[in-house]
Structure 1
Amino acid sequence: MSTIDLKDRRILFELDTNARQSLKQISKKVGVSKNAVFSRIEKLKEEGIIQNFYTVYNPYILGFSAIAICLKFQYANLSVKQKIIDFFVSYENSWYVSSAEGNYDAVVTVWVQEFDRFFAFYNQFLQKYGKFIKGIDFRCFFQAEHYSSSYLLGEEHSEKERNKIARIGPGKRVEFDKTDIRIMQILAFDARISLTDIANRVKCNIRTVKNRMSNLMKEGVIQAFRIGIDETKIGCKYVNVDVFLGDIEQKKKVLTYVRSIPCLLEMFTSISTVDLQLLFCVKNVEDVHEIMQGVSNAFPFTIKNYEYIYKTGLFKWNWIPGELCREV
């Protein structure tokens, strides 16, 4: 585990709030020189704490929706498990692929535009690996909220910073062309890339890139520019909590309550047996127990039950459906 101070944490937080901020902008907020910010970022990258800079999109308004596939294995040795993971990683429309412990052994989320194509992919999976699957749960995500990494700052975070939320879900359909897709494809894996470099790769001028990005942000396609953090390097772990409500009419109140928890990173609502799916970044499992006990105490006749899923490995995290990029 790496040791980082409050300045490092503030830099990480600022990058996770807006990864396209300049060194000068970050230096003013953190209270160190521009050169110091550069050196600290490079060190955080070298130590593997910063894994990448990525862009959060809302593919729903591009014509896609998201479905999670939660898998429980049987008769599967390590080799088989890896083959299953590789199968989903290689699928062009997979968004998120992880191994897990708890109720499931793997959790996969895929972008879906045409259900017949998804069904064909799913059948292919069953034909190859169905005998190794003990159980499958599907979740059709309706809406997701992604919060800033307030847990990095502890008590230092402000409510204003907490309210910077990236929202993914249904909305007015947005028109786009190949130039938009090329720009999105580049930003998906390098949110800090310069406008000049994007223009060179897309083969257009800087003004066009800037205007296109501005429009994509205004229309809600681009939701945020963030960083991938290896939580294990700073002594943390990701824990998913599936929440089951006994009184669905209290759902809005529960949502408002949990949004204020600094270590909450994501919240999903879906068409499934699960009413809320929460993702926390915590130091240990006991922290999650304490958090959920607090939620249960606040809503004693609403929280019926909750279950944990522990992420053990992340193999893919791609915010842009590969199907969009196929002909670009």
Structure 2
Amino acid sequence: MHDFTEKDKEILYNLDTNSRKSIRRIAKEINIPENSLRYRIKRLEDKQVIIRYYTSINSYNFGFNVIKFYTKYININSAKKRQIIDYFSKMPNTWVVSTLEGEFDLGIIFWVHNINSFYPIWNKIFVHHGEYLTNSKLFFQYEALSFRPTYLITNKIRPENEKYDITRQEKQLEISKNDMKILQSFSSNAKTSIIKLSREMNLTSSTISNRIKNLKKNGVIQSYRIDIDVSKLGLYHIKADVFLNNLKDISKVIKSFKKCPYVVCIMKSIGHSDVEIEFHVKNIAHFHQLMMKFMDKNPKTIKNYTFFQGRISHKLRWIPQIIKSKNRSNMIKY
């Protein structure tokens, strides 16, 4: 996007802090006329810089766990690749489906109740597509810290008071069917209106509003954000798998990288690496520069790291699409 301006960056950053904010409020916060703001947002949408408006939902809190699957293609052609991507995108319990470049070609993130519920999925993947997949790796995610794209407004240290989302199991909740309907709607469109939900669910607007407030209070709804195609901004989405010499240093690593304005996510997982870090960077050299900056200041902390690039986001949905009740009451227990 050659005519991308500093004001456009400010708009994107502001929307990512709360994409349900009114035009009037955003215009006031960034000092721009409302008509100009509407035009700029529409333009960002039309150019697919803003891919979607989504809700960050902590599905851990009602019984789900996260398994990440990375793989490389073999014996592949364009039609088969499209078929495999569609296969994963249509699965009701996939959170993320992404085309990658580098160590892996495809990344899938699943919501699952437990390993017993995941095994049939895993088995079916390789029964139907195993001859086209190799070098497959699984990660069992424990925690994810998701940050705002601070680099849009500054290249200095991330402000300490900047909000970020923590996705992990903090409590075990029972979610009503009506709450689940709200979450299902918000997961695909964070800008869904309360009036529209009220009509669809045959509930008053005040009832819907109170349910949303309660979901936020219980840490289920964390924030309303936007999915940005950073390639349109001339940036690269890089994920690093970091291997430490000693796991006792993991807190130090996380604390340091949290300050970096180009870091957008840090994850603790069981599996291939000790910590995973996602960046939005100017180029590959910029990514290595950020890694070496830490390694120079903290010698013998990081053993080594590998990385790959996120190319295309095919699906992003923070809650499974189909939820089955485990009992016959009007509550769904997870």
- Shorter chain as denominator, the TM-score bin is over 0.9
Secondary structure of the structure 1 residue equivalent to 2:174: coil
TM-score, L = length of structure 2: 0.93
Q: Counterpart in 2 of 1:231?
A: 230
1:279 matches 2:268 = no
Cα separation, partners in 2 of 1:158 and 1:127, compared to 1, 3 Å: closer
Is the Cα contact below 8 Å between 1:248 and 1:302 reproduced in 2?
no
Q: Counterpart in 1 of 2:126?
A: 126
Secondary structure of the structure 2 residue equivalent to 1:109: strand
Distance 1:214 1:307 in 2: 41
Q: Counterpart in 2 of 1:89?
A: 89
Is the Cα contact below 8 Å between 1:95 and 1:320 reproduced in 2?
yes
Secondary structure of the structure 2 residue equivalent to 1:281: strand
Secondary structure of the structure 2 residue equivalent to 1:154: coil
1:208 matches 2:207 = yes
How far residue 59 of structure 1 moved from its aligned partner, in angstroms, is 0.5
Q: Counterpart in 2 of 1:178?
A: 177
How far residue 326 of structure 1 moved from its aligned partner, in angstroms, is 9.1
How far residue 114 of structure 1 moved from its aligned partner, in angstroms, is 4.1
Distance 1:70 1:143 in 2: 18
Range moving further from structure 2, 259-268 or 1-10: 1-10
Q: How is 1:63-102 mapped onto 2 (pairs within 5 angstroms)?
A: 63-102=63-102
Is the Cα contact below 8 Å between 1:247 and 1:301 reproduced in 2?
no
Distance 1:234 1:288 in 2: 16
How far residue 242 of structure 1 moved from its aligned partner, in angstroms, is 0.6
Q: Counterpart in 2 of 1:148?
A: 148
Distance 1:312 1:322 in 2: 24
Cα separation, partners in 2 of 1:105 and 1:166, compared to 1, 3 Å: same
Structure 2 counterpart of 1:4, which letter?
F
Is the Cα contact below 8 Å between 2:156 and 2:261 reproduced in 1?
no
**Where does the alignment leave 5 or more consecutive residues of structure 1 unmatched?**
none
Is the Cα contact below 8 Å between 1:71 and 1:107 reproduced in 2?
yes
Secondary structure of the structure 1 residue equivalent to 2:224: strand
Distance 2:325 2:184 in 1: 11
Distance 2:128 2:60 in 1: 30
Q: Counterpart in 2 of 1:48?
A: 48
Q: Percent identity?
A: 30
Structure 2 counterpart of 1:76, which letter?
I
CA-based RMSD of the aligned residues comes to 1.8
Distance 2:191 2:238 in 1: 28
1:317 matches 2:316 = yes
Is the Cα contact below 8 Å between 2:65 and 2:114 reproduced in 1?
no
Structure 1 counterpart of 2:180, which letter?
I
Structure 2 counterpart of 1:224, which letter?
S
Q: Counterpart in 2 of 1:302?
A: 301
Q: Counterpart in 1 of 2:59?
A: 59
Secondary structure of the structure 1 residue equivalent to 2:240: strand
Structure 2 counterpart of 1:262, which letter?
P
Q: Counterpart in 1 of 2:329?
A: none
Secondary structure of the structure 2 residue equivalent to 1:216: helix
Cα separation, partners in 2 of 1:190 and 1:156, compared to 1, 3 Å: farther
Is the Cα contact below 8 Å between 1:2 and 1:47 reproduced in 2?
no
Cα separation, partners in 2 of 1:288 and 1:205, compared to 1, 3 Å: same
**Where does the alignment leave 5 or more consecutive residues of structure 2 unmatched?**
327-331
How far residue 200 of structure 1 moved from its aligned partner, in angstroms, is 1.6
Distance 2:130 2:94 in 1: 19
Structure 1 counterpart of 2:148, which letter?
S
Cα separation, partners in 2 of 1:158 and 1:112, compared to 1, 3 Å: closer
Query: Deviations along 1:131-161, whole A, 9 cap, x unmatched?
Result: 2222211100000011011111124886155
Q: Counterpart in 2 of 1:111?
A: 111
Distance 1:231 1:325 in 2: 36
Q: Counterpart in 1 of 2:11?
A: 11
Structure 1 runs (4+) deviating above 3 angstroms are: 155-158, 325-328
Is the Cα contact below 8 Å between 1:20 and 1:191 reproduced in 2?
yes
TM-score, L = length of structure 1: 0.95
Distance 1:64 1:166 in 2: 17
Distance 1:325 1:180 in 2: 14
How far residue 18 of structure 1 moved from its aligned partner, in angstroms, is 0.7
Number of residue pairs the alignment of both structures matches: 327
Query: Deviations along 1:110-143, whole A, 9 cap, x unmatched?
Result: 0001433321111111111112222211100000
Is the Cα contact below 8 Å between 1:96 and 1:108 reproduced in 2?
yes
Structure 1 counterpart of 2:272, which letter?
T
How far residue 225 of structure 1 moved from its aligned partner, in angstroms, is 0.3
Secondary structure of the structure 2 residue equivalent to 1:176: strand
Cα separation, partners in 2 of 1:146 and 1:204, compared to 1, 3 Å: same
Q: Counterpart in 2 of 1:246?
A: 245
Secondary structure of the structure 1 residue equivalent to 2:3: coil
